[in-house]
Structure 1
Amino acid sequence: MGDAADGRLPVIYVRGFAGGPSGISSAVDDPFYGFNEGSVQVRVDDTDRPTFHQFESPLLRLMIDHGYQLLVQGNQRGYLDQRDDGTIDPATIWVHRFYDEFAPTLTKDPNPFSIERAAQSLFDLVRLVCRKTGAPRVFLVAHSMGGLVVRAMIQKTIPDATGAGPAAATDFVDRVFTYATPHGGIEFSMGFGAIEKLRDLTGVAGADMFGPERMYRYLTPEASMQAEVPADWDATRMPDDGFPPDRIFCLVGTNSSDYSVALGLSSRAVGARSDGLVQLENAYVQDAPRALVHRSHSGRFGIVNSEEGYQNLQRFLFGDVEVRAQLTDVHLPGTEQDDTVWQLEAALSIRGLPVVLHEQSTAHLCPIQIERPRTADAAATPVPLVRTFLSTRATRPTVQGGEREVTTMRHVLRLRLLSLRKQGGLLSFLDHLEQTADWSDVLVVDIEFPQDGTPPRSWAVWSSALGTAIRDWVPDAATDEQLEDVDTATGSWLARIRLPVAARELLGRDAAITVAVSGRTPA
């Protein structure tokens, strides 16, 4: 039986928008509100034949990988009510079936859907699960609008109910993971705002909940509610003294082409820089960790039923180490007047996984923009590349038929630097070679966490310097130089890795990748 001490807190799933009465009725017919759906991907083997990779679903994988139980037995709420306090295993999964009371097929007099009511019933479920399992807090995992239900509970419902201030939700919720949530609302790239105004005015199927006025109402406690939405209010920013953003992970989808219908409109109405429904800049909370994956909002290539989503999920929920990588000390060639646009592509892979955990590329319309300092003597602003989480308790793989145990965790960061010219404020392709990088390389970083509790050890190498397959490189503690920890603080570790010579010619002689590793408070 699990307990809170091993990091396995109860998981509560919160689904997304179902639309009007018919959509709600369809949603409630699924006992797990869609979180039980998996997917199948095709890869090509050495004979050019398709081979299949099956993702079982986030629910099933939590059960397989982490020993969670799914306790329904006919009625999940009834099961909870009939058990004594503290007798249910904390390592359990629950589904917030908030749509049940709004379904015309189930309820005699259904009320119009209310996100405030869904947030209140979520708080009721959170308290019930904590009481019955004895767990101090829960993990919340939400898709799309479900993330707004969670935020409404965190930012308004709990502070209003407890009177304990904006951060009161930290007593009930440990971590929040959102898939494709419109944290900044839903906007459209066509119509010059007319579509949003019509949606917010009519509130068709409750879709006005994605507009700023309704969002302000259900995300703001009564104590600070104003008659009008403040001009500087931003839905993507959490209150400064509220639930900490670093306890919220936002998974952002970048595939707009595989999501065809949203709110009765084609994904073309939202624009290409989206998952087909939520634009990239609206899909995360400011200052929260996030990852971008090439998945659509839902459907066959949806973000929830993806291996990429699950791998980010389990690392955020159970990881006890945080890793951040940044590009630092950049000094671009030329001047502001040469109108050159510099963009960086970055992709993170971890040894043993069949998917990329984070990817920003020009092909997916989300490269990292490298900005010049405002003045010649200004210090270069670090460019964030990736933020991920690891578990030092995770089982390490073996290689060569089990002859050698792998003691390090290997990250591979693929980087590509591209440039474009501008003339008269417009991109010019006269001297351009599409998808051709000015520089590209792969940084291989191995991190080892000794079992005796001593500080981590790490090694790094650029693929261009290897001369062999990356999988064949094994750092030798006796001969390979370890990365030097340049952070004097305890509980954290920081290394600086210089870029290859070819990259320094473009990005500056002092340009480097900094890798920061820090401990993370267990759940």
Structure 2
Amino acid sequence: MELPIIYVRGFAGGGSGIDKAVDDPFYGFNEGAVHVRVGKDSTPRFYQFESPMLRLITEQHYRLLVHGSQEAYLDRTPDGEVPSNSIWVHRFYDQAASTFGQEPQAYVLEKAAQDLFEFVQKVRRKTGAPRVDLVAHSMGGLICRSMIQRFIPELTRPANGPLRLDAAVDHVERLFTYGTPHGGIEFGIGFGLLEKARDLININGAEIFGPDRMYDYLTPREDPAVRGERPRDWNPARMPADGFPVQRVFCLVGTNPEDYDVALGLSSKVVGARSDGLVQIDNAYVPDAHRAFVHRSHSGRYGLVNSEEGYQNLRRFLFGDLEVRVELHDRRVRGEEDDDIVWQLETQLSIRGLPIVMHEQTTAHHCPVQIEWRAPEDTVDTPVPLLTTFLATAERPHDVRTGEMAPTVRHALRLRLLSIREKGGIFGFFDHLEQTADFDDTLVVDFRPPEGAAPAQAWATWNSQLPGAIRDWQPGDAPPLADDAADVPGVWRGRVPLPASGQAILGDGATIVLTVSGRPPAGG
């Protein structure tokens, strides 16, 4: 069955911002966009994106059931009779608005998280759905995590019993966040003084993005009346290992600070280039959770939420039936032990039939894969995770010549390895060619899911080895890859050696390992 989707919006700021937010029946999630940066002259082009809500309605057949008031509609409808394929909005700012003829109440994140849990329970009860999916922008992701990490364990705790940190799995299926400051909001200038001033003055409640307040609303308490002290090594972005599984979390990370024009663009200047204009890249995801990087801003006409990139990642995470994990194995960079050369790997993921890049980590966007960064326990043989994405086998495009659905799901991974000499924090350019890749190739992968007695199969080839255009390549032109996980139900795993140009730098054994896993249906 389709699970209900609950949207949770981000930070609205002061009174005027809150009033503007509540005036919209869907808190802004119904807003689309008509700008996209494409074209060889780099000027903005017209591209009409309807909004994530409308796309869910038209493509996934979801329903908006407001009828004057979503709360009133739910209250008057008998339990189990509300359609589960429905979209809801957590309107937590309504009580803080001045437009409803009532005295505005101060916004408190903890109350928004507790109210969200009540709303989740009501939606589950009225629809009969076992769980809900949560979709959140910016601060909304922190409200969701507060509910998941603190309040569900506290509010469902049996009398005199222990806290169950993973209790949210009984209520929430998946969490998708757009530009959420999971690690807080930090500034690229001021040596920490700006953060301290923000948390002390608390303008418009902005202290919620500082570590002390985050520890408050993200940490469950044995005794709710006892606050507790924040440990020095506590990381707000990290979710408890024995809590809600991070495999159920997807973080969309924006890498475009230039088009975030809030406060005349001052935010992006203060936060820094390695951000979406408000949230720094390193703070925008939960460690070990699924994530994708897209060149979008925190909000606005080039924002994450009202973008095709955001929607396609959301749709496949919620409804895709395949999980694809890509890793680089057995790489040994020549001379890496004592060399001053820094190696950076750019990755771009495209899926056949989509007009956008699903994932993009590049040096120009300040987020390449640093292939030499290792944890203390890592060795040169430790796999380098490149990306995880989700595919929907039902979304295969139809062949323009035959009209039939393509037999395989095709995606392409571009790898571009660049290097630069650095010593003592200073770049050396005497042997450097700017933006010239040492290795540049595209791996084209076709995956055919299992059907009846036929097992899953996959084909892969490097673009440099194709005789013509990629669109003309047919999987049958080469034998399928060997399945290294044939004895593991629901899992396919294959290895693709890098071409000679890549192995010359990354080692003779450098290999791309693809792991494709089946996913249970929503609510399953």
Deviation at 1:276, TM superposition (A): 0.3
**1:257-296 alignment runs, 5 A limit:** 257-261=258-262, 265-296=266-297
Deviation at 1:456, TM superposition (A): 1.1
Query: For the Cα contact (< 8 Å) 2:9–2:140, is it kept in 1?
Result: yes
Query: For the Cα contact (< 8 Å) 1:262–1:277, is it kept in 2?
Result: no
Deviation at 1:467, TM superposition (A): 1.6
**1:92-491 alignment runs, 5 A limit:** 92-106=86-100, 108-163=102-157, 165-223=164-222, 227-261=228-262, 265-371=266-372, 378-392=379-393, 394-452=394-452, 454-476=454-476, 480-487=478-485, 488-491=487-490
Secondary structure of 1:514's match? strand
Residue deviations 1:141-200 (CA, integer Å, cap 9, x gap): 000000000001101111111106111111111000000000000000111111100111
Residue in structure 2 matched with residue 19 of structure 1 by the alignment: 13
Deviation at 1:337, TM superposition (A): 2.7
Secondary structure of 1:223's match? coil
Q: 1:26 to 1:383 in 2, by over 3 A?
A: same
Residue deviations 1:195-230 (CA, integer Å, cap 9, x gap): 100111121110000000000000111217653101
Q: 1:179 to 1:262 in 2, by over 3 A?
A: farther
Deviation at 1:261, TM superposition (A): 2.4
d(CA) in 2 for partners of 1:368, 1:107: 53
402-411 vs 94-103, which deviates more? 402-411
d(CA) in 1 for partners of 2:36, 2:489: 45
171-180 vs 35-44, which deviates more? 35-44
Which residue identity does 1:473 align to in structure 2? W
For normalisation by structure 1, the TM-score amounts to 0.94
Query: For the Cα contact (< 8 Å) 1:293–1:359, is it kept in 2?
Result: yes
Residue in structure 2 matched with residue 61 of structure 1 by the alignment: 55
Which residue identity does 1:486 align to in structure 2? D
Deviation at 1:37, TM superposition (A): 0.7
Which residue identity does 1:88 align to in structure 2? V
Query: For the Cα contact (< 8 Å) 1:495–1:516, is it kept in 2?
Result: yes
224-233 vs 349-358, which deviates more? 224-233
Secondary structure of 2:222's match? helix
Deviation at 1:497, TM superposition (A): 0.2
Q: 1:107 to 1:241 in 2, by over 3 A?
A: farther
Which residue identity does 1:78 align to in structure 2? A
Which residue identity does 2:100 align to in structure 1? L
d(CA) in 1 for partners of 2:37, 2:21: 32
Q: 1:335 to 1:179 in 2, by over 3 A?
A: closer
d(CA) in 2 for partners of 1:47, 1:219: 46
Which residue identity does 1:442 align to in structure 2? T
Deviation at 1:403, TM superposition (A): 4.3
Deviation at 1:106, TM superposition (A): 2.1
d(CA) in 2 for partners of 1:80, 1:286: 36
Unaligned runs of 5+ in 1: none
Query: For the Cα contact (< 8 Å) 1:373–1:380, is it kept in 2?
Result: no
Secondary structure of 1:399's match? coil
1:499 aligns with 2:493: no
Secondary structure of 2:338's match? helix
Q: 1:373 to 1:108 in 2, by over 3 A?
A: closer
For normalisation by structure 2, the TM-score amounts to 0.94
Deviation at 1:51, TM superposition (A): 6.6
335-344 vs 221-230, which deviates more? 221-230
Residue deviations 1:246-293 (CA, integer Å, cap 9, x gap): 101000000001112269943110010000000001000111000000
Deviation at 1:132, TM superposition (A): 0.8
Q: Percent identity?
A: 59
d(CA) in 2 for partners of 1:107, 1:343: 57
Query: For the Cα contact (< 8 Å) 2:137–2:305, is it kept in 1?
Result: yes
Q: 1:50 to 1:127 in 2, by over 3 A?
A: closer
Deviation at 1:521, TM superposition (A): 2.4
Query: For the Cα contact (< 8 Å) 2:261–2:300, is it kept in 1?
Result: no
Deviation at 1:432, TM superposition (A): 1.2
Q: 1:505 to 1:216 in 2, by over 3 A?
A: same
Deviation at 1:231, TM superposition (A): 1.2
d(CA) in 1 for partners of 2:417, 2:172: 40
1:29 aligns with 2:26: no
Which residue identity does 2:167 align to in structure 1? A
d(CA) in 2 for partners of 1:107, 1:187: 37
d(CA) in 2 for partners of 1:409, 1:305: 26
377-386 vs 154-163, which deviates more? 377-386
Q: Calculate the aligned-residue CA RMSD, in Å.
A: 2.2
Deviation at 1:241, TM superposition (A): 1.1
Unaligned runs of 5+ in 2: 158-162
Query: For the Cα contact (< 8 Å) 2:490–2:517, is it kept in 1?
Result: yes
Q: 1:28 to 1:353 in 2, by over 3 A?
A: same
Which residue identity does 1:14 align to in structure 2? V
41-50 vs 297-306, which deviates more? 41-50
Deviation at 1:492, TM superposition (A): 1.3
Q: 1:226 to 1:31 in 2, by over 3 A?
A: closer
Which residue identity does 1:384 align to in structure 2? P
Residue in structure 2 matched with residue 74 of structure 1 by the alignment: 68
Secondary structure of 1:227's match? coil
Secondary structure of 1:266's match? helix
